[in-house]
Each structure stands twice: as C-alpha cells, then as structure tokens.
Structure 1
Amino acid sequence: MDLFGQTPDWATYLSPILTKYKNRKHPLAYENLYQLVVMVILSAQDSDANINAVAPALFEIYPDMERLSVTNREALLPNISTVRNFGTKANWLIEIAQIIEKNENIPLTMNALTALKGIGRKSANVIMRETNQPAEGIIADLHVIRVAPRIGLISETKDGNKVEKQLMQVLPKSIWGEIGMAISFLGREICRPKPKCDLCPINNFCAYYANEN
C-alpha cells in the first residue's frame, strides 16, 4: 500500500527521477565497450572515482582485449594495485580477455555476461544499460540497496540480488532499463546517507519523508 492506502503506481511515482536522470552516462569515465567492461569489473566494492583515476594509465598499456589477453598477472598487478581486491580482479580480467580475445567478441546478454568471472548481475545490468540493450534486470548498486527500501519500494536487505528481484516484482519491465541508474543517481546526489529530502523530486511518495514530517 502507498501513503494513501492504495496499491502504488510506482511507474508514475518514479517518473520525476526517470525524467531527471534518463540517459545520463554512468559515472565511470569509459570511452568504449572494452573500457566499460574492465572498469565495471574493477569497480566492484570500490569507488567509481578511484577506478576513473586508475583507468587512463591502465588503458595506455592495455588498450584492448587482445593486449590484455597476452599479459600476465605480474605485469598487470602494478597497474591496478590501488584497486580493492586487485589480485583477484587481475585474474578475472586476464581470464576474460583470454576467453573473449577481441573487443568485438564482448557479449551483451545477461547469460553470456554473467558466465564470465567477475561479472555478476549488477555489473551485467550496467553494461547492458550503457550499451542500450533490452533490459533483462534492474541495476542494484549500493545506492539502490540503500535508497529503494527508504522510499518504500521494497523491504530492506543488503543483498543486491534480492533487491533486484524485489524491484523486478514491483516495477513494470518498461522502466527496468533506466530506473536502477535513476535511483542510483538520486542516492548519489540527494538521497544520501543523510538525505536532502527537501530537494527530492519524489518526496511526496517517499515513506521515509512521510515518517520524518
């Protein structure tokens, strides 16, 4: 039930943030699909800002999958040593590059992406959204995990896969492709851990705002 005791029309309630953030590029400063895949893998449990700082020098040395596929762990590690879990991620990147071999072989479906080491559903959803593929799920990053329950969209959980599943159950598929990043951008800019509720374009439909006012 929503604030008025009715079944929520979330597509309508969330339309202001869909409009505000629609088609905004992901904060990872990638320039092509290869860079996007590498940066998404590196960004797991790390900040986009840190990965953006590491990326330019990394891509000078490894400009494509072909170059990455013929490197080894010892050569790659110094270039990503400031990234969280860099050792494991180095193994993932090299294995993926050896499987894919060339940039043009990078897959763009949920099943094919998640079959690769280091790419879960969240990462696959980001890659598919950024490349304008038909949505097969909803991005559930740490901002979405915090904000979606606060709004009242779903019950609270720290498990991103559970968050995505709940969102897919309550939101129409027509908005899956954009709503995850829209909620994420809201979380980055307005619905912070200490939220700026007065600036929020959907505060009229937010459970947290209703409880606080």
Structure 2
Amino acid sequence: MNLFEEDNWIEKLKPLLEKYKDRKHPLDYENLYQLMIAVILSAQDSDANINKITPTFYKEFPNLESLTDIEPEDLYPYINKVRNFSTKSNWIIGIAKILKNNKNIPANLNDLIALKGIGRKSANVILREMNIPSQGIITDLHVIRVIPRFGLTKESEDGNKIEKQLMAILPHEIWGEVGMAFSFLGREICRPTNPKCTECPINKDCLFHFKSN
C-alpha cells in the first residue's frame, strides 16, 4: 500500500491527473513575459499577493524592452509589497538586460535556470504553462509537503532532491502535469492541518491517510 513501491504509476495517479488536467496555474498572466515576471516575484510569496500587484506592473512595464534602461530601484514602488522585493528587482532588471526582448525568453530548462532568479521550480512552471515538453517536475512548497505523505519520497524538505527522486520513478509522459496536480491537491485538499482526506482522489494509496485510520 505504498506508492513508492508500485510501478504502475499512470494507473495509480490517473484520478489525480484527471482531476486537475490542464488547469491553469493560479498566477495571472497573458503572455510568456508576464508569466516569467509573476513566477520570479512569487518566490516565497503567495500567488494571491502577486496577482494583486502585477496588473499595475504590467501596465507600466509591458515587456522586457521597457525594463532594459532603468535601475532596480525604479521597480520598488510597484513591487514593494512583495517579499524580498529588492532582490527580485535586481533579478528582473538583470534578466531584462541579458535578454533585451521578449522573443529571447528561453524555451528550455537549462537556459531558463541560467538566469539569476529562476530556479528549477520556476522554470518547470514556465515550461508547463507554455505547453513546452517537460524537462522536469514542478516541485513547489505544496508538492514538497504533500509528496512524503504518499510515500513517493523519503525526502521532506529539499525541492531539488524531491524532484530528482520523482523523475527517477515517474514516467516522463506525466512529468508535465503530475507536479502541478500534486500542488493543486496540496492547496485544496491535502492541507497542512486537517486535510480533507475523504475528498482526495488517490487517498487509497496514501500512507498518511492509511495511518490516520
């Protein structure tokens, strides 16, 4: 009764994947540029908070070109309610000066994570939302918290380690959706406290649920 020991991954996770199939990420965006900015700003902050401040940001800075001739401090009035906004301002301006144009935003994981301010989690989100073939698995804070409950990994804190373990045991064909599916599960059902286990589509294969009953 441990998913970690199973090999029929697609069948086991099918109800979860079907429940959240093709659901858009909670961050608001209309194009790749806006998505990249939102993802950078959302690190260690809530999607809801980022969605509140980005409309004004996008209006003032509609593309990378509009960011190339300004200083990080010029962004402060627009993002000062975001956690670590000064560091993120440096990242955004740095990326703008490197890429210069929206058309130069990378469409692969290695080139994305080469940009300071974009880690593997952020890159995987960008690739997934742009329907680009997955090169990894989204492992955000929700996934990090939820995955150990199912016994899919014994790691419980390091997102990169969890991602590598998931990539080693899950078939590539579900990489693009499985991370976000677990993320939505963690946001809506598998909460940190008082999880709604009876509503979970894969509770019969959950160690946490099994031990709780």
Counterpart residue type for residue 155 of structure 2? E
Q: What SS does the aligned partner of 2:124 have? A: helix
Instruction: State the 1:91 CA deviation.
Output: 0.4
From the superposition, tell whether residues 5 and 189 of structure 1 become closer, same or farther in structure 2 (CA, over 3 Å).
Answer: closer
Counterpart residue type for residue 181 of structure 1? M
Aligned to 1:110: 109
Aligned to 1:202: 202
Structure 2 length as normaliser, TM-score? Answer: 0.96
Identity of aligned residues (%): 60
CA distance in 1, matches of 2:5, 2:116: 43
Instruction: State the 1:3 CA deviation.
Output: 4.4
Instruction: State the 1:17 CA deviation.
Output: 1.0
Structure 1 length as normaliser, TM-score? Answer: 0.96
Q: Deviations over 1:63-93 (max 9, x none)?
A: 1000011221221111110111101100000
Instruction: State the 1:153 CA deviation.
Output: 1.0
Question: Which stretch has the larger CA shift, 8-17 or 101-110?
Answer: 8-17
Question: Which stretch has the larger CA shift, 140-149 or 6-15?
Answer: 6-15
Q: Deviations over 1:24-43 (max 9, x none)?
A: 00000111100000000000
Aligned to 2:16: 17
From the superposition, tell whether residues 4 and 189 of structure 1 become closer, same or farther in structure 2 (CA, over 3 Å).
Answer: closer
CA distance in 1, matches of 2:34, 2:72: 19
Counterpart residue type for residue 28 of structure 1? L
From the superposition, tell whether residues 28 and 4 of structure 1 become closer, same or farther in structure 2 (CA, over 3 Å).
Answer: closer
Instruction: State the 1:45 CA deviation.
Output: 0.5
From the superposition, tell whether residues 191 and 69 of structure 1 become closer, same or farther in structure 2 (CA, over 3 Å).
Answer: same
CA distance in 1, matches of 2:126, 2:2: 35
Contact 2:167 2:175 in 1 (8 A): yes
Aligned to 1:44: 43
Task: State how 1:91-110 maps to structure 2 within 5 Å.
Answer: 91-110=90-109
CA distance in 2, matches of 1:95, 1:193: 36
CA distance in 2, matches of 1:3, 1:66: 50
RMSD of equivalent CA atoms = 1.4
- How many residues are paired up? 212
Q: What SS does the aligned partner of 2:107 have? A: coil
- Unaligned segments of structure 1, at least 5 residues: none
Instruction: State the 1:8 CA deviation.
Output: 4.3
CA distance in 1, matches of 2:66, 2:32: 15
Aligned to 1:212: 212
CA distance in 2, matches of 1:193, 1:139: 19
Instruction: State the 1:156 CA deviation.
Output: 3.1
From the superposition, tell whether residues 91 and 52 of structure 1 become closer, same or farther in structure 2 (CA, over 3 Å).
Answer: same
